[in-house]
Amino acid sequence: MSDPVKPFRSHALVGSLMLLLGFALIAFGWVIPSRFKSVPFGVVREAGQAGARVSDQARFYLLDGNYGAAELMAKGASRLGEKESALVSAQVAMEIESNEQLALWGAWDPFLEAALKNVPLDDYSTEPGFLGVLLAKPCRTAVSRLLENSRNPLVQDLLATGEFTTYRRLFPVSSTSGRPLEVSLLGLGLAAQGDHLTDGLRLELRGLILEAKASGSIGALEDFYLDALSLMRMFSWGQLKELLSRAESTEDLKRLRFLFHRKPERQALVYAMSLASRDLADLFDYLATFGDEGFDRLESSLATGVDGYLLALREQLPIEIEVIEDVGSFVSNVQTALSPFSLRNPQLSLGIKYSSFFVGSFVALYGLSLFGRFYRETVSPMLAFTQRFFGAAASVLVFAVLSEPFLSGAGTFDGYNFTFVLPVLAQVDGELQIIETTPTTSMEPATLLSIAFFFLLQALVFLICMLKVREIERRDFDPLVKLKLMENEENLFDAGLYVGIAGTCIALVMQVINLVEANLLAAYSSNLFGILCVAIVKIRLVRPYKTKLIMASEQQIVDLSKKS
């Protein structure tokens, strides 16, 4: 007589091994530094380590003779914790110590040299930035004479706008209150004469001037002049011309002004971010989406290196500061070892991650099924495979939500809206107004994932019910016996309702205790899918097959009724 304990132990051993293998695959997928809706900090750090740092860029400006930009970049590098920044700052201080004029200008410029060579430094204004150079009457007169002889069409157009009478916040240059406008025009004229404006900004500015000449519409042009005036007050000439050489449009300059006024205590850091960006639009788009939290993450990315910062801007995704790196040395070492692969192969790495979730869940579910082989009913291989397949697919959705911290919180960021209240003439730097963004009708990814998860569960219930009907149909039983078996499975055919109600209740409870963001659409979709699933099962599967069985056993039913 065979011992029934031996096959049970054998199945339990195999089941345990498969459970361990499944959990190991899931754990491996979990530690892979690759995300769908965020960028792991380990990948950003890996990208940043191979490239230049902010202090390297500061040294470049030092060697190029732009001491103003080098000084501000060194301050930004110091805030990021780069020790090399102290050396650059010391070298800048040493270079400008013996040249007071260079200290005020920030960088040598041939046109400034030609215009102001006979103006003593005592005649300069005490206002900060490049505004202090141009605001004094001797300086304005000297620069104006220089630019009036320019053959640059944009310079001539700029000077011509000085006598427009349609300004609302500025006054014509010839009036007693015309100094702010004159300073703006002279500063922009020097930038245009020295070819420090990008092609995009130059063409747009020329278009605004021509439109103002033709129609008298001066609003957009006046806004641009005020933005430029505000930046002149904050930065020296050397610092200002580097910003102008990166702004591709008047909107870029407006947004730059917004950032510097929004983060006055981090002015050097904002300046470093601006000069480190390959395209200022990427920086603005990122902050428009993620706001102050995104700014802090960009600061952390820039601290790893310029290439890590550029990776964050290119991906336009939140940076995930992974807590798992502090779990233990083994986990940290695994993530560090996998970061180069994830950096070079982001799509393949993500595919391996979710494949590990799926295969691990499938293997774990198969191993778990071996423990119940002796007390559960026998099911067809197709039904068993379908249960495990859809169970693994549902597990992937669960792991996706759990392993993607920004998937469910995609709508929680308070992004920047680059909007201003423009300043009055007595205040050059202006003030800010932040307006909340208008809600959109598009659904968040977390909502779509929740709906997809509940739909997948109901699809699994439907397939199980369909396979159970097909299993009863294939059995070599009498029609009456099959009819009884169908009646015995009524609870299974109602399982869609049970699963739907349970999903709604669990979702609502999780929302109440703030585990997930409140979303009634995602919660009640579970109940709706359950109702639809049961309706389809009962009407399209169960009822037609029962009708077929009743018709097939009509004579048996008549005979049974006669006997009764």
Confirm whether 556 is domain-assigned.
no
Residue 73: what pLDDT?
A: 92
Whether 251 shows a pLDDT value over 80: the answer reads yes
**Lowest mean per-residue pLDDT among 121-135, 145-159, 184-198, 370-384:** 370-384
In a domain, 228, yes or no: yes
pLDDT of residue 437: 39
Using the predicted structure, report yes or no on whether residue 108 has a pLDDT greater than 80: yes
pLDDT of residue 269: 92
362 in any annotated domain: yes
Q: Which domain holds residue 130?
A: 108-235
User: For 346-357, what is the mean pLDDT?
Assistant: 88
Q: Quote the pLDDT of residue 517.
A: 63
Choose the final residue of a domain: 204, 219, 235. 235
Cα 396 from Cα 356, distance rounded (Å): 9
Which residues, including other chains, have CB under 8 Å from residue 527's CB and lie 6 or more apart?
500, 501, 503, 504
User: At CA 203, angle to CA 416 and CA 434, rounded to 5?
Assistant: 15
Query: For residues 111 and 457, which has the higher predicted lDDT (pLDDT)?
Result: 111
In this prediction, residue 132 carries a pLDDT of: 87
Across the chain, mean pLDDT equals 80
Task: State residue 435's pLDDT score.
Answer: 35
Q: What is the 3-state secondary structure (H, E, C) of 119-162?
A: CCHHHCCCCCCCHHHHCCHHHHHHHHHHHHCCCCHHHHHHHHHH
Q: Look at the chain and report how many structural domains it folds into.
A: 2
DSSP 36: S
Residue 271 has pLDDT above 90, yes or no: yes
pLDDT of residue 426: 39
Q: Is the pLDDT of residue 553 over 80?
A: no
**pLDDT greater than 50 at residue 404:** yes
Domain boundary among 356, 371, 390: 390
Of 396-400, 402-406, 434-438, where does mean pLDDT reach its minimum?
Answer: 434-438
Q: Is the pLDDT higher at 172 or at 510?
A: 172
pLDDT at 446 over 70: no
Q: Is residue 441 scored above 50 in pLDDT? A: no
- In this structure, what token pair is assigned to residue 267? 């002015």
Q: H-type helices in 442-553, by residue range?
A: 445-474, 479-488, 490-493, 495-512, 520-536, 543-552
Using the predicted structure, report yes or no on whether residue 60 has a pLDDT greater than 90. Answer: yes
The answer to whether residue 224 is domain-embedded is yes
Average pLDDT score over residue span 86-100? 87
In the predicted structure, residue 385 carries a pLDDT above the cut 80 = no
The helix/strand/coil state of 66 is strand
What is the pLDDT averaged over residues 4-8? 49
Boundary-marking domain end, from 205, 235, 265: 235
Q: What is the pLDDT of residue 203?
A: 92
Residues 115 and 210 in one domain: yes
**Mean pLDDT, to the nearest integer, of 415-440?**
46
Read off the pLDDT of residues 172-228 as tens digits, 9 standing for 90 and up: 888 888 888 889 999 999 999 989 999 999 999 999 999 888 887 888 898 999 999
pLDDT score for 46: 85
Answer whether residue 543 is part of any domain: no
**Percentage of the residues of the chain whose pLDDT score is greater than 90:** 16
Q: Is residue 197 part of a domain?
A: yes
Give the pLDDT score at 368.
73
More confident residue, 390 or 118: 118
Please report whether residue 507 resides in a domain: no
pLDDT computed for residue 325 by the predictor: 47
- With vertex at residue 101, the alpha carbon angle to CA 185 and CA 76, rounded to the nearest 5 degrees, is 80
Query: Is 139 part of any domain?
Result: yes
Give one DSSP letter per residue of 245-267, joined into a string: TT--SHHHHHHHHHHHHH-GGGH
Q: What confidence score (pLDDT) does residue 431 get?
A: 37
Task: Give the pLDDT of residue 275.
Answer: 92
DSSP 8-state assignment for residue 301: H
At 268 the three-state DSSP class reads: helix
Tens digit of pLDDT for each residue in 474-507? 788 888 788 888 888 888 888 888 888 887 887 7
